[in-house]
Amino acid sequence: MKAEFNEQVLLKGLAKNDAKAIETIYKNNFTMVQSFVLNNNGTYDDARDIFQEAMIVLYENAKLESFVLTCQIKTYVYSICRRLWLKRLQYLNRFTTPVESLEETVSVEEDIDFQQKRNADFAIMERALGSLGEPCKSLLEAYYLEKKDMTDIAASFGYTNADNAKNQKYKCLMRLKKLFFSQYNIGE
């Protein structure tokens, strides 16, 4: 019961980007994934990438209210890593030996597919931001991602007043939205 309770606490912490929760989950599971990847033609860096990808899946799911973890975090992470690594191996044509499956696994196919869709959306946003150019990119990031106050932004960027900064931000935002929505498709 306590272990289960701890797991729920960890998940809630993860959803809130709590550093302690992230660290605990990371510490408890990384070595397992590392040994799995290393034993299946992978490197330490592969293991890190795969594990962090799995962590993102867990994080994005933990943020959803509908998400209920039906198994241990360990099993879930292992299952995702195993699936992702298999895909990676197939993609790299390195699928020489059958992957050892000694650990218990759960079905994570849907979660991974959903995450891929989200990753695609994030990629669109990143490209749109990237192609904006400065100072629009930094201005929008400061306001929307870092949640800075308009007055502080005006000061740090060197605008004479917040209204000018707002005006600039508005123009930048229009461009960004145009770029983003030209590629973004809800249905896909």
Partner 1 sequence: MDDILLLDTTERYFKGDLSDVEKARFEQLRKDVPEVDQMVVEHSMFLHQIDAYGYNREFKHQLHEVHKQLEEAGEISENAVTPRGKVIQFWNKYRRVTGIAASIAGVTALVISGLVTYFSPSSNQTQIVQLNRKIDQVMQNVRVQGNKLNAVIKSSKAPINEVALNGGSSFLIDGKGYLVTNAHVVAGSSTILVQNNKGQEFKAIIVHVDNEKDLAILKIDDEDYKPITALPYSIRKSSADLGEQIFTLGYPRDEIVYNEGYMSAKTGFKGDTMSCQIAVSANPGNSGGPVFNHNGEVIGILSTRETKADGVVFALNSRNVYQAIEELKKEDTSYNKLKAPSISKMKGMDRVQQVKQIEDCVFMVRSFTR
Residue 161 interacting with partner 1 (CB under 8 A): no
Binding segment toward partner 1, per CB under 8 A, in 17-25, 65-73, 87-95, 152-160: 17-25
Q: Name residue 113's amino acid.
A: D
Question: Is residue 113 a contact partner of residue 57, using CB atoms and an 8 Å limit?
Answer: no
Residue 166 interacting with partner 1 (CB under 8 A): yes
Q: Name residue 106's amino acid.
A: V
Considering only residues 37 to 66 of the shown chain, the ones binding partner 1 according to CB under 8 A are 38-39, 44, 48, 52, 55-56, 59-60, 63
Tell which one of 34, 78, 83, 84 touches partner 1 (CB under 8 A): 34
Tell which one of 1, 3, 19, 68 touches partner 1 (CB under 8 A): 19
What is the nearest approach in angstroms of partner 1 to the Cβ of residue 85?
14
Residue 181 interacting with partner 1 (CB under 8 A): yes
CB nearer to partner 1: give 83 or 168: 168
Residue 31 interacting with partner 1 (CB under 8 A): yes
Buried b / exposed e along 80-94 (16+ C-beta atoms within 10 A): bbbbbbeebbeeeee
CB nearer to partner 1: give 4 or 118: 118
Question: Is residue 122 a contact partner of residue 133, using CB atoms and an 8 Å limit?
Answer: no
CB nearer to partner 1: give 67 or 122: 122
What is the nearest approach in angstroms of partner 1 to the Cβ of residue 81?
14
Tell which one of 69, 106, 112, 173 touches partner 1 (CB under 8 A): 173
Q: Calculate the CA dihedral of residues 29, 34, 35, 40 and round it to 10 degrees.
A: 130
Ramachandran class of 64: left when φ > 0, alpha when ψ lies in -120 to 50, beta otherwise: beta
Helix (H) / strand (E) element for 53: namely helix 44-63
Quickly count: other Cβ atoms within 10 Å of residue 36's Cβ: 22
Which residue in 97, 95, 10, 19 sits closest to 58, CA to CA?
Answer: 10
